[in-house]
Amino acid sequence: MTDTIDLDGLQRLLWNFAGQRVVTVAGRTGILHALANRAATPDEVASELDLDPLATAKIIRALCAQNLVAADGETYRLAAPLRPFFTGGTGDYGPFLDHLHSMYERWGENLEPWLRGEAWKTAPRTSEETARFGAAMQAVSARIARRVAETLDLEGVRTMLDVGGGWGQYAKAMCETQPELHATVLDVPQVADAAPESILGTEFEDRLSWIGGDYLETDYGNGFDLVLLANILHQELAPRAAEIIRRAAVALAPGGQVVVVDFAIDDAKNQHVLGALFAVNMRSFGDTYSEPELRGWMEEAGLANVERQDLGPDRWIISGRRR
């Protein structure tokens, strides 16, 4: 079975309730990384990472039971399809595992009080937490963004606005696919002020720029060939999500397209595992939106030719064009 795990499979496993703690503990202590480059016994891993041998052996066996790690006699190695995700660099999943770990810690603390109608305890992100969240999003998004760029028809697309585009992970992937493209990324000032430094001296320096502001208040400008809404509608309630789509449609040139990239879910919102779990994670401030909801908002915004393209089992692109 291990050779069938890909990015979608990995994400499903990471979101699995039963396995979550084990995987994140492993991520934090580097077990997955330790087994990415070579096979090792649990004792060797424990000694390398200065961990308790019994606990390490149990965790590695539990990882094996979930197909994340493969056994060969006494030694274990990360399943082959997962190795590229744990070898360091910007696409490494370590920051994403840290993000999931703190997310599940907050679930442990807040889920029951939330169910009783009490407020979810949150504090504004510190700048260090913002940077960590940005690294987690970049790790997840870099690969998916490439898939999105390959799936979309970007011919003739010269200008795009990436609303809530973070550190420009999607904008970069689109610029790599479409050499004539220039992208504007709109994000909160904390991100928009810090992100440009990350592209200094790179091929993107003259092709990406940032605007800092709230996406429900800031002027989007106009005349864009493409306005991207990647993973932002889910963090808003329905009226605000619909308003973001309306604003995006207004910012288009005639013939331009609004492109939504987000988690998929079935129409009744009770069958799709990741979509339904993600809706819990968006607790009372957001949701996983169904295709009819997204289509409806696009059509209300005057967009035509609304179409859906699946990006594996858990994500989709839903796009519509300005007439």
Ligand X SMILES: C[S@@+](CC[C@H](N)C(=O)[O-])C[C@H]1O[C@@H](n2cnc3c(N)ncnc32)[C@H](O)[C@@H]1O
Q: Measured from the CB of residue 68, what is the shortest distance to ligand X in angstroms?
A: 24
By beta-carbon proximity to ligand X, the closer residue of 54 and 216 is: 216
Please tell me the distance from the alpha carbon of residue 207 to that of residue 180, in angstroms, as a whole number.
9
Range 125-164, binding ligand X (CB under 6 A): 137, 141, 164
From the list 230, 233, 252, 258, which residue makes contact with ligand X (rule: CB under 6 A)?
230
Task: Name, in order, each residue with C-beta under 8 angstroms of 106's C-beta and a sequence gap of 6 or more.
Answer: 120, 122
Per CB under 6 A, 258 contacts ligand X: no
Range 66-95, binding ligand X (CB under 6 A): none
Q: Measured from the CB of residue 199, what is the shortest distance to ligand X in angstroms?
A: 15
For residue 184, list its beta bridge partners.
161, 209
Please tell me the distance from the alpha carbon of residue 299 to that of residue 246, in angstroms, as a whole number.
10
By beta-carbon proximity to ligand X, the closer residue of 7 and 45 is: 7
Q: Measured from the CB of residue 317, what is the shortest distance to ligand X in angstroms?
A: 12
DSSP characters for 218-250? S---S-EEEEEEES-GGGS-HHHHHHHHHHHHH
By beta-carbon proximity to ligand X, the closer residue of 170 and 316 is: 170
Given phi > 0 = left and psi -120 to 50 = alpha, else beta, which region is 142? Answer: alpha
User: Which of 172, 272, 284 has its CA nearest to residue 228?
Assistant: 172
**Which is it for the CA torsion 262, 150, 78, 36, positive or negative?**
negative
Stretch that binds ligand X, among 14-22, 92-100, 185-193, 302-310 (CB under 6 A): 185-193
Q: How far is CA 115 from the centre of its chain?
A: 26
From the list 36, 161, 171, 191, which residue makes contact with ligand X (rule: CB under 6 A)?
191
Q: Measured from the CB of residue 264, what is the shortest distance to ligand X in angstroms?
A: 15
By beta-carbon proximity to ligand X, the closer residue of 187 and 314 is: 187
Which residue's CB atom is positioned nearest to ligand X? 164
Q: Which pair of tokens denotes residue 280?
A: 């819990």
Please tell me the distance from the alpha carbon of residue 156 to that of residue 8, in angstroms, as a whole number.
31
Q: Estimate the share of the chain in helix, then strand, then coil, as percent rounded to the nearest 5.
A: 50, 20, 30
Q: Are 169 and 142 in contact (CB under 8 A)?
A: yes
Residues contacting ligand X: total by CB under 6 A: 15
Q: What burial class does residue 53 get, using C-beta atoms within 10 Å of its C-beta: 0-12 exposed, 13-18 middle, 19+ buried?
A: middle
Q: Measured from the CB of residue 20, what is the shortest distance to ligand X in angstroms?
A: 19
Per CB under 6 A, 188 contacts ligand X: yes
| Residue the block writes with tokens 């799709």 | 272
Per CB under 6 A, 187 contacts ligand X: yes
Per CB under 6 A, 169 contacts ligand X: yes
Please tell me the distance from the alpha carbon of residue 86 to that of residue 3, in angstroms, as a whole number.
16
| DSSP assigned state of 194 | H
Q: Measured from the CB of residue 181, what is the shortest distance to ligand X in angstroms?
A: 16
Range 25-54, binding ligand X (CB under 6 A): none
By beta-carbon proximity to ligand X, the closer residue of 77 and 247 is: 247
Per CB under 6 A, 214 contacts ligand X: yes
Q: Measured from the CB of residue 283, what is the shortest distance to ligand X in angstroms?
A: 15
By beta-carbon proximity to ligand X, the closer residue of 30 and 221 is: 221
By beta-carbon proximity to ligand X, the closer residue of 67 and 169 is: 169
Q: Measured from the CB of residue 230, what is the shortest distance to ligand X in angstroms?
A: 4
User: Which of 123, 133, 129, 170 has its CA nearest to residue 150?
Assistant: 170
Q: Measured from the CB of residue 4, what is the shortest distance to ligand X in angstroms?
A: 26
| Binding region for ligand X (CB under 6 A) | 137, 141, 164-166, 169-170, 187-188, 191, 214-215, 230-232
